[in-house]
Amino acid sequence: MYSNAINLLAILILISSFILIANKRQNAYISTFRFQSLLLALVSLLVSVRSMLSNKKFDEVIIIFCLIVLFKVVIIPIVLKRTSKKVEYTVEKDFFINIPVSMLICCGLVVLCWHVIYSIEGINNSDTRNYLIYSMSVVMLGLFFMISRKKAIGQIVGFLVIENGMFLAAMLTTEGMPMFVELGLFFDLLTAVLIMGIFVFKINDTFDSIDINKLKNLKG
């Protein structure tokens, strides 16, 4: 039952990254990221409740659950929404690769992850292997999302999705990392997003657009 639920949540996280790749609007990127973070929070809640029930003592992972809800579901999406409101783009019109083809490429990436992780010897627990496959695929999809979007907001969301994937891998294979590592990661992430948001403003000011292709132009 437990492993079924975790498997389901991990697959839903993977599907939410597919939905992200099919999206065209900046607000939709941010809502999808919020949804994905909510699923991630649910995973950490399940992990912590299970370990609390089996060990009969307090588990730190529940604090991580609260932190995910606070940072990734509330603060970061609000910061991103504010950033995207101030720059005028709402719809991405031109992609490097159109959506059906990029969906197929992503499908290939999932198969690749599956193949690579199956060929690693020494992973004996089949559940751990599944979780690794899902979370590695989320990381790969985040990378692909970053390179397939031209607008800077898309790149920030891609970065956050990569981080979500790594977090999922850490959470599911180790049943929660030490508290200090997690705290450090969260503050790192928050400052990264704030700095990137400021960068987006600056790029928008200087080039009148957040299209990263325009960064190649010379500016006197």
Partner 1 sequence: MIVSVLKLLVQIMLILIIAPFFTGVIKKLKSKFQHKIGLSVFQPYYNLIKLCKKDLVVSSVTSWIYNVAPYIYFMTSLFAVLCLPVVHQLIGPAYFTDLLVIVYLLVAGRIFMALAGLDTGSAFGGMGSSREMLVSALVEPALFVIIITVSSRTGIASTNVSSIYEYTLSHTEAAFSPINLLLFASMLMILIAESSRIPVDDPSTHLELTMVHEAMVLEYSGRHLAFIEMGTHIKQLVFMTFMANILIPIGFNIENIFIGLGIYILKILAITVLVALVEINTVKLRLYSIPNFAAIAFIISVLGFLTCFILK
Interaction between residue 40 and partner 1 (CB under 8 A): no
Amino acid identity, residue 128? T
Neighbouring C-alpha atoms within 13 Å toward the C-beta of 49: 9
Q: Which stretch binds partner 1 (CB under 8 A): 45-53, 106-114, 182-190, 204-212?
A: 106-114
Task: CB nearer to partner 1: give 89 or 114.
Answer: 114
Report the residue from 32, 44, 84, 130 that binds partner 1 according to the rule CB under 8 A. Answer: 130
107 binds partner 1 (CB under 8 A): yes
Report the C-alpha gap between 195 and 201 in whole angstroms. Answer: 10
Q: How far is the CB of 115 from partner 1 (least distance, A)?
A: 11
Q: In angstroms, what is the minimal distance from the CB of 11 to partner 1?
A: 5
Tell me how far CA of residue 138 lies from CA of 52, 101, 109, 158, 166, in angstroms: 28, 18, 10, 10, 8
Q: For 46-65, give the DSSP string.
A: HHHHHHHHHH-S--THHHHH
Q: Name the residues that contact partner 1, by CB under 8 A.
A: 4, 7-8, 11, 14-15, 18-19, 22, 99-100, 103-104, 106-107, 110-111, 114, 129-130, 133
